[in-house]
Amino acid sequence: MKPFKHHKGTVVPLDRVNVDTDQIIPKQFLKLVQRTGFGQYLFYDWRYQTDGTPHADFVLNHTRYKQGTVLLTRRNFGCGSSREHAAWALLDYGFNVLIAPSYADIFYNNCFKNGILPVKLGETIVNQLFEEVAREEGFSVFTDLENQTISKPDGKIIDFEIEQFRKKCLLEGLDDISLTLQHEEKIRSYEKKLHQFQVIDVKRL
């Protein structure tokens, strides 16, 4: 997993509450066996009509948000099933930072495991950001994980909280496998001892 230290990107406003993982990546696209390739199906049922043509009124189809990499949304984002594919689809599409008042717990965990920073901000601040994004085309923010701040175009800074262990994992690019490999020597030592005990037990038989 690539380390995450800071990111600057255009903000894409998804003004919906309770967006579930089946809306983020519909179940018919879960057949891929690798983590890449899901971005083209992100929010598929909202992005496209039944004949495959884009919905003109969906935010990802607006020219001003085509290059967006920061997703601004509403409370309880990522609810529903626990599919990790939702985080894969967001990352593969190009979203590195999410901003919302709250997230579903499993989805929130999956974001950190895949190098996405899900920032939690109060509803008042989120409301204000929606207003600013609507007013200013190309509205972008600079997210600094180390200092736990989001800088707006007007120079104002928003602080955010994050659990220190999760912060460390993102800064150092540590996923579950990387964390396990940090204890590789201890694991090897344990396996060696376990093998020796197994050999002794076989000899006794």
Which CATH number belongs to the domain containing residue 101 in this structure? Answer: 3.20.19.10
Is 118 in the same domain as 192?
no
Contact in structure between 145 and 5 (CB atoms under 8 Å): yes
Over residues 18-41, the mean pLDDT reads 92
Instruction: For residue 177, count other CB atoms closer than 10 A to its CB.
Output: 9
The pLDDT assigned to 181 comes to: 46
| Shared-domain flag, residues 128 and 184 | no
Q: What does the block give as tokens for 198?
A: 């197994």
CA distance 85 to 26: 10
Mean pLDDT (whole number) for 101-129:
97
CA-closest candidate to residue 138, choices 77, 58, 73, 70: 70
Q: What is the mean pLDDT of residues 178-201?
A: 53
Tokens representing 100? 């919302």
pLDDT at residue 194 in the model:
52
Angle among Cα 148, 91, 10 to the nearest 5 degrees reads: 60
Residue 130 has pLDDT above 70, yes or no: yes
Residue 179 pLDDT grade (very low, low, confident, very high; cuts 50, 70, 90) = low
Distance CA 170, CA 151 (A): 19
Q: Does 120 have pLDDT greater than 50?
A: yes
Whether the pTM exceeds 0.85: the reply is yes
**Which region holds residue 146: left if phi is over 0, alpha if psi is between -120 and 50, else beta?**
alpha
Residue labelled with tokens 């891929």? 32
> How would you label 51-74 residue by residue, b for 16+ Cβ within 10 Å and e otherwise?
eeeeeeebbbbeeebeebbbbbbb
Structural domain count of the chain: 2
Q: What is the mean pLDDT of residues 52-56?
A: 95
pLDDT on residue 183: 41
Share of the chain above pLDDT 90, in %: 81
* 24-38, 123-137, 172-186, range with the lowest pLDDT: 172-186
- Convert the pLDDT of each residue in 71-106 to its tens digit: 999 999 999 998 999 999 999 999 999 999 999 999
| pLDDT: which is higher, 80 or 176 | 80
- State whether 124 and 183 are in the same domain: no
Residues 30 and 119 reside in one and the same domain: yes
Q: Is residue 1 part of a domain?
A: no
For residue 32, the model assigns a pLDDT of 80
